[in-house]
Amino acid sequence: MLDIENGHCTITTFDDFRKQLKGYFMPVDVERYAYRLVANLKQTDALRDYIRAYQMVMLDVPMMPEKDKLHWFIIGLQSWPQTDVERSNPETLEQTYVAAERLADT
């Protein structure tokens, strides 16, 4: 995608640019710290608060694979929403957020 030394760039969207730039300049320790935050993030109060907190942490780990983002989100849910979200069988993190938001509305 981005080869600065050879002047080659195939980035076509701003989101891709942001991810590449952040990945290029983000030290490994910062990324490791963000992964720890993801692993330790748990729903303790309102479901919407957990969703927002998770979305904020995701901004610091743009290179995390989608399936890992989805996995850690579901693992951090309390048991009752976790079961319902898993039952909806989401394939993307966005679908997971939607399933969780539906539960927050009930």
Q: Are 71 and 91 in contact (CB under 8 A)?
A: no
What domains does the chain contain, in order, with CATH numbers?
27-105 (1.10.1200)
pLDDT along the chain (106 residues), means of 10: 65 83 72 85 95 91 89 96 96 95 86
What is the per-residue pLDDT for 32? 80
Distance CA 68, CA 74 (A): 10
* Structural contact between residues 77 and 85, judged by C-beta atoms closer than 8 angstroms: yes
Alpha carbon distance 32, 29 (integer Å): 5
Q: Is the pTM of this model over 0.85?
A: no
Return the SS3 of 9.
Answer: strand
Q: DSSP per residue over 34-101, as a string? A: HHHHHHH----S-HHHHHHHHHHHHTT-TTS-HHHHHHHHHHHS-HHHHHHHHHT--SSHHHHHHHHH
Task: Return the pLDDT at 26.
Answer: 67
To 10 degrees, the CA torsion angle through 27, 1, 54, 91?
-140
